[in-house]
Chain A
Amino acid sequence: MLRRFIAVHVVLVPLIFALPAYSQNVAGPAKAKATSPEIPFDSVPNFFKMPAGLYMGEGTGIATNSKGHVFVFTRSGETRLFEFDQTGAFVKEFGVGSYGFAFAHAVRVDKDDNVWAVDEGTNVIQKFSPDGKLLMILGKRPDPLEQLAQTPGGGQYSGANRPYTFHRQTDIGWDPQGNIFVSDGYGDSRVVKFDKNGRFIKAVGTRGNGPLQFSTPHAIAVDAKGLVYVADRGNSRIVVLDNDLNQKAVYDTVGAPWAVCISQGAHQYLYTSNSFPTGNNFDQAPITGEVYKMELDGTVLGHFGKAGHAFKEFSSIHQMDCRNPDELYVAEITAWRAQKLILRPQAGRQTSAR
């Protein structure tokens, strides 16, 4: 028995180390899945009403503003940014034909209801006023002809770490002072901090799996104290940084975080989606697709959902909004849709108490 155990390990261990990032999920479910209760939830059917002739593509970005309006950033024929009201009715489109829209990645709404669109095709982040006026640009789109000439091999990790240009950046967040934090991204592996006027303060991170290293920092969220939560997707961990970008903690029991969000209110919660691998087909439901609800200190409170293409299942959640901790919006990259979810944590607690 013992001998067989050792033999199996000798074979498996090298395999696991040969495939970092991938192995943890393929090998089995995230550790916290078995140890945390399931949270009951519902999905609101047909919440988003698209006007005739308008189609959703890959659901990459989703965010709400203080009035409950929902912004969806999608890769359709073109990358487009749509606004819906609190009933799901279509309101308007932002930045039609903009130079900063090529490949949607994330959208976030700041405390003043400005809408920030993070586009990893142009390396540009655009800040729009609530009525759609362009207020600020971060980053610089590479001149397209230079890019075209260098297409083969483009988009690899460069580690260039430049102050004012990104390399396929992924997400944005703000602390209470308005300082800006950007996860950057596929081409770099770092977190960049700017002041509220867009002036560079500092950047940390290189590619790797050590302290202050990242492997595709895919999403970012900032809490009311100014702590920064980085979804270090390729390393299957959430890295917590202080406001000066020193590493404080690592949460590594909740799978590969594609999307993270932090709720508002006096008691904030952290949500993270284990959306690995892309596709999230039903047969992967035992090991991926679920969303975790956590305390900011990393304590896992519960989880919900599973991989799949059906209604109330998740096809690679790419971004989440959790302004209200019991009312979440999720955008799914392989299902070309967004869902509005109603969580019933109280019901779950009663169930588990019984």
Chain B
Amino acid sequence: MTRRLLWAAAGALSIVGLSLSAQSVPEIRYDAAADALSLPSYGEVAGVATNSRGHVFVYARTGHAAATLGDERTFYHGGSRLFEFDQTGKFVKEIGQGVYAINFAQQVRVDPQDNIWIVDAGSNQIVKFDSDGRYLMVLGRKPENIPLRAGPGVSATVADAEFLSKNAAPQAGRGGGEGGGGRGRGTPGAGINGDGFNRPSDVTWDRAGNVYVADGFGSNNRIAKFTKDGDFVKTWGHTGSGAGEFNQIRGLVSDAAGNLYAADAGNKRIQVFDGEGTLKSEIRNIGTPQALCITGGSTQYLFSSNSNTSESMDNGEIYKLQTSGQVVGKFGRAGRLAKEFGMTNALDCRTDTNLWVGEVWNWRAQKVTLMK
């Protein structure tokens, strides 16, 4: 009886606590155009970004990753497409058809010179295209294949499946694996000799053009820094929950002063670093940060999505923050309808009133306008 009362009291307290914290974040009124873009073929919108002319780039998981069976290996290609739309939402063109790295779309970003960068978590590569879609640079190396133990004529067993689920993903992340010929001689990956990205999630730049890669939501859990020419500079972070450690970096942006904001999703925080990897602060109480964007202008704002998982319609709201970490307000919730957000994976915000939200669940990019 006493215990039951205690539980009831604890429940009441936690409800009060929740509603207080919810009330303390103002709701931002907003509109959303769910059909602002019409994709040439339908698929999960992993990345959305605008350039300085208002063109919109969408990196989507559409079509199918195709597997080619070798004698004991499976080679794979395709499965995603990069589309460009003009400022009115009209489809302009496709970029990178058949490109080796285009596999499992993760993110697209546009740099200050209007170059287009795609981040692909299937090929573990970052590719830089110029504004006309010609390609300029590639970081990381695609794993040559997915090894399959069950060869032709060998009946697959549960043990095989277990082996593969334990071994295939890390192996695929190791810049080529056995027989790859890429160890230590290919384009630099995350920095350690012969190592590559493992499920990279995002890319950003400082004013000098240095490149920072969030690497990522596989096993690496680090940030890699390169010069503007793609030469490796340094890497920091590893798996963990302590200061400067990561558990799935899902987003990475940089402000005008060169500070980096890393969405450390598994630790429910954004960690702020300078360009040398020195931890400056951390931001909490914004749920599980996944997609990030940062505005231009003299006062910059940060937006961070507390995206729902594939098994719930909880959360889904997007926070507006000052770069100090102070929460300004929030908007939206998880769902399948227009103006709701389903597994937000990308945010673009050149200003703090006009945003693009890319959704994995709802296969669309919504154009969002925030009211003042």
A interface residues with partner B (beta carbon < 8 Å): 95-100, 102, 126, 133-134, 136-138, 140-141, 143-146, 148-154, 162-165, 197-200
A145 — which chain B residues lie within 8 A by C-beta? 65, 76, 103-104, 122, 146, 169, 172
Assess whether A99 is in contact with B157, with CB atoms less than 8 Å apart. no
Q: How large is the interface on B (under 10, 10 to 19, 20 to 34, 35 or more residues)?
A: 35 or more
Closest 10 CB pairs between A and B?
A152-B156, A97-B41, A99-B43, A149-B168, A153-B161, A198-B336, A144-B65, A98-B42, A152-B160, A140-B310
Could you name 29 residue pairs across A and B whose Cβ atoms are closer than 8 Å? A95-B42, A96-B41, A97-B40, A97-B41, A97-B62, A98-B42, A98-B43, A99-B44, A99-B63, A100-B43, A133-B38, A134-B42, A134-B364, A136-B362, A137-B362, A141-B44, A141-B61, A145-B122, A146-B169, A148-B76, A149-B169, A150-B165, A151-B156, A152-B149, A152-B156, A153-B158, A163-B312, A198-B337, A200-B313
Q: Of the candidates A96, A99, A146, A165, which one forms a contact with B310 in the assembled complex, judged by CB atoms under 8 Å apart?
A: A165
The total of interchain contacts (Cβ-Cβ below 8 angstroms) comes to 112
- Docked complex Cα distance between A134 and B60 (Å): 15
- Docked complex Cα distance between A134 and B161 (Å): 35
B41 — which chain A residues lie within 8 A by C-beta? 95-99
Shortest C-beta distance, A313 to chain B (Å), equals: 35
Assess whether B165 is in contact with A149, with CB atoms less than 8 Å apart. yes
Q: Of the candidates A137, A143, A163, which one forms a contact with B363 in the assembled complex, judged by CB atoms under 8 Å apart?
A: A137
- Docked complex Cα distance between A47 and B335 (Å): 41
Shortest C-beta distance, A29 to chain B (Å), equals: 35
- Docked complex Cα distance between A164 and B312 (Å): 7
Bitwise, B34-70 to A at CB < 8 A (1) or not (0) is: 0100101111100000000000000011111101000
Closest B residue, CB atoms, query A146: B169
Shortest C-beta distance, B312 to chain A (Å), equals: 7
Assess whether B148 is in contact with A151, with CB atoms less than 8 Å apart. yes
- Docked complex Cα distance between A95 and B104 (Å): 20
Assess whether A164 is in contact with B310, with CB atoms less than 8 Å apart. yes
Closest A residue, CB atoms, query B78: A144
Assess whether A152 is in contact with B164, with CB atoms less than 8 Å apart. yes
Assess whether A137 is in contact with B63, with CB atoms less than 8 Å apart. no
Q: Is B258 an interface residue (CB 8 A)?
A: no
Closest B residue, CB atoms, query A152: B156
Assess whether A152 is in contact with B42, with CB atoms less than 8 Å apart. no
B312 — which chain A residues lie within 8 A by C-beta? 163-164
Q: Of the candidates B62, B172, B361, which one forms a contact with A140 in the assembled complex, judged by CB atoms under 8 Å apart?
A: B361
A140-B310, A144-B122 given; 10 more Cβ-contact pairs under 8 Å: A97-B62, A97-B63, A99-B63, A144-B61, A144-B79, A145-B103, A146-B169, A148-B67, A153-B161, A197-B335
B127-161 at interface with A (beta carbon < 8 Å): 146, 148-150, 156-158, 160-161
Q: Is B311 an interface residue (CB 8 A)?
A: yes
Closest A residue, CB atoms, query B335: A197
A162 — which chain B residues lie within 8 A by C-beta? 311
Q: Is B87 an interface residue (CB 8 A)?
A: no
A138 — which chain B residues lie within 8 A by C-beta? 336
